[in-house]
Structure 1
Amino acid sequence: MNTLKLMGRICLTLIVVVAAVFVGRHLWHYYMEEPWTRDGRVRADVVDIAPDVTGLVSDVFVKDNQIVHKGDILFRVDRSRFELALAQAEAALTEAKSTWDLAKSERERNERLGDSASAQTKEKSVATEQQAEAAYMKAMAARDLAKLDLERTDVKTTVNGSVTNLNLQPGDFVTRGAAKVAVVDSDSLRIEAYFEENKLPRIQKGDRALVHILGQKGDLEGHVDSIATGIEDRERTSSSGLLANINPTFSWVRLAQRVPVRIHLDKVPEGVKLISGLTATVDIKPKSN
């Protein structure tokens, strides 16, 4: 009887040991070899919208976090000065056209006179007409530029998305080329997953990916869109002599480098709100599996 109990205990111990080895091997394979990572982020392109003219802001048509579509007007620069500039340019164009017409008539009259007009007079009339034509073309370009500046007083978004961190009020002075509104491009939303370098051999472009956003229910489906082709080398810096400057220290604990892998989301279910910067867990399902 005691022998049977002893054999039973030995068998139970062996079963537990085998199960522990199996589970341990499975966990080692999953955590150390399977291509998955908790180091993922929801990313999107942020477009800095800057005016193409300088002046005072007369109107702001959006609010912070508002959804906008490509072509929507975000804010308007005061148009008064640009309307006056356009009127002035149109008047200058009319004057230049009259001068050109007069020079053209003078040249045609001298040609009709034939030998009665000297060659010098004819040459002078031709040159005068050419100068008047050039002045007219210059005035036309100035008019078109003034018209363009007036159109550019309406500052529009170039992408679909949402306004973020808006800090613009009517009366603010804006300068050409200085960004004043940031728009998160909703069409560029994606997942950037940072995989350890020893897991990259099992990741290929087109592989299926499961994405879990922290704090949200369910998984999102996507696929590997691309893998980064370079990362920063922290052990190497530039030098004034154009020679490699390598850090002489060496750490005995070598951590695997992390390489960005871009995941394209195939479909985002209704109710799932993607916000740039959220944390994500990404599990790659290689095609060979």
Structure 2
Amino acid sequence: MADDDLSDARPSRERAPSLARRRWWRVVRLLATVVILACACLAAALVWQFYVTAPWTRDGRVRVQVASVAPQVSGQIVDLRVADNQNVAKGDVLYVIDPVDFDISIATAQAELENREADLQVKRTQAARREALSTLSTSVEEKQQYAGTAKIAEAALASAKAQLHQARVNRGRTEVRSPVNGRVTNLLLRAGDYATAGTVNVAVIDTDSFWIDGYFEETKLAHIRVGDVARAELLGYSALIDGRVESITLGISNANASPSTQGLPNVDPVYTWVRLAQRVPVRIRIERVPDGVTLVAGMNATVSVGEPGAHGGAFWKTLRDRFTGPSASSGQERVPGAAAR
């Protein structure tokens, strides 16, 4: 009997650890499933925040103002003082037009001025002499004629002075100067070329005017305000450019707004089920450029607005609004153009 009792107790003791191990593995598998599910939800939330709520775009461009330089006088270029891709300061001479003809114009205008001065002196003397005579020696009409002749001579002298001033101004315009601090680009001009007044022949990039345009989807504009911190990463550099939102464009082109030949709206009858978000330009003022980064107009940039993590709460708000509708605070109307101000 004792042997039978011992044999029955041995299997029961062996089964107890086996059942405990199975229960433990069930708990471990359940916890692992919960952890994996939580990680998946967190990853989905982060992806949603990054692609839907966080204001960022890879569609950015470096922009700059370009000064189109054209001479104000015509003539042959005798001295080209810049080269392609050369840095220049505001007021530096870019090229010189042959000044010989303008020197002759100054000499001619100076001679004409002296002639008019002498003529005026004669006319004034004659008018004064007639004015001193009595009506017995000359008539009132003759006095008026000589006085009028003196006035005409005064006007001719003023015209001669203006012509001399214009000749000197044109002489100074033979030295064509840079209107901005910048860099000469795409220079095709050569000494000996003929420069025509009003025709652009030199382009100078204004290096003080660089900015970045970020073309954000319209779904991101709710999280962008003028003055927000912005960062841009150029395609060829890893360092970030610091800036701020300077303005938001209040209008983009609309193909349906173009009138037909009869002046009626030209509406495209094709409408797709997939509605693509329009892209709106946002101007970023550059505040700091890292060392080693060279700004070139037309470069691609990835632009993000706001401090990192500042838009984390927007994920839950957007998710809530999608299921419950916009909240009262988000439904408040904004005056058009308020963001731009």
Superposed pair shares fold, TM > 0.5: yes
2:216 to 186, 189, 195: 195
Read off the aligned partner of 1:153 and give its amino acid letter: T
Residue from 68, 74, 81 that aligns with 1:48:
68
Q: 1:155 matched to which residue of 2?
A: 176
- Name the residue aligned to 1:26: 46
1:98 to 118, 132, 141: 118
> Could you tell me which residue of structure 1 aligns to residue 106 of structure 2?
86
Corresponding position: 1:277 with 2:298? yes
Asked whether 1:16 is paired with 2:16, we answer no
Indicate how the Cα distance of structure 1 residues 244 and 235 shifts in structure 2: closer, same or farther if over 3 A, else same: closer
SS of residue paired to 2:116: helix
- Partner secondary structure for residue 5 of structure 1: helix
Indicate conservation of the 8 Å contact 1:203/1:286, yes or no: no
- Per the alignment, residue 84 of structure 2 pairs with 64
2:190 aligned counterpart, secondary structure? coil
Query: Does structure 2 retain, via aligned residues, the 8 Å contact 1:204–1:286?
Result: no
Q: Structure 2 matches for 1:111-260, cutoff 5 A?
A: 111-115=131-135, 116-260=137-281
Q: Distance in 1 between matches of 2:273 and 2:149?
A: 83
Measured against aligned partners, the alpha-carbon deviations of 1:132-178 in whole angstroms (never above 9, x if no partner) come to 11111111111111111111111111111111111100011111111
Contact 1:39–1:279, Cα closer than 8 Å, also in 2: yes
1:214, 1:97 → 2: CA distance? 69
Per the TM alignment, residue 5 of structure 1 is displaced from its structure 2 partner at its CA by 2.8
Q: CA offset at residue 235 of structure 1?
A: 2.6
| 1:222, distance to aligned residue in structure 2 (A) | 1.1
What residue number does 1:4 align with? 24
Against the structure 1 CA distance between its residues 258 and 83, is the aligned structure 2 distance closer, same or farther, given a 3 Å change threshold?
Answer: same
TM (norm. structure 1) is: 0.95
SS of 2:82 mapped into structure 1: coil
- Within the alignment, does 1:108 sit opposite 2:128 as a pair? yes
Residue 190 of structure 1 and its aligned partner are, at CA, apart by: 0.9
The range that moved more, 232-241 or 42-51, is: 232-241
The corresponding residue for 2:289 is: 268
Deviation for aligned residue 1:11:
2.6
- Residues 214 and 284 in structure 2, CA contact (< 8 A), matched pair in contact too: yes
Classify 1:167/1:25 alpha carbon distance in 2 versus 1 (closer, same or farther; 3 Å). same
Secondary structure (helix, strand or coil) at the match of 1:62 reads coil
Q: Which structure has the bigger radius of gyration?
A: 2
Q: Distance in 2 between matches of 1:246 and 1:126?
A: 74
Higher relative contact order (CA 8 A, sep 6+): 1
SS for the counterpart of 1:188 is coil
Return the offset for 1:227: 0.7
How far 1:87 moved relative to its partner? 1.0
The Cα shift of 1:191 comes to 1.0
Deviations 1:93-151 (A, max 9, x none): 11111111111111111112233222121011011111111111111111111111111
Distance 1:30 1:132 in 2: 81
Moved over 6 A (4+): none
Deviation for aligned residue 1:3? 4.3
CA distance in structure 1 between the partners assigned to 2:178 and 2:261 by the alignment: 43
Which whole-Å CA distance do the structure 1 matches of 2:300 and 2:123 have between them? 72
User: Which AA in structure 2 matches 1:9?
Assistant: R
The letter for the 1-side match of 2:253 is: E
Identity of aligned residues (%): 39
Moved more, 94-103 or 9-18: 9-18
Extract unaligned runs of 5+ from structure 2.
Answer: 1-20, 312-341
2:242 and 2:73 map into 1 onto residues whose CA distance is: 44
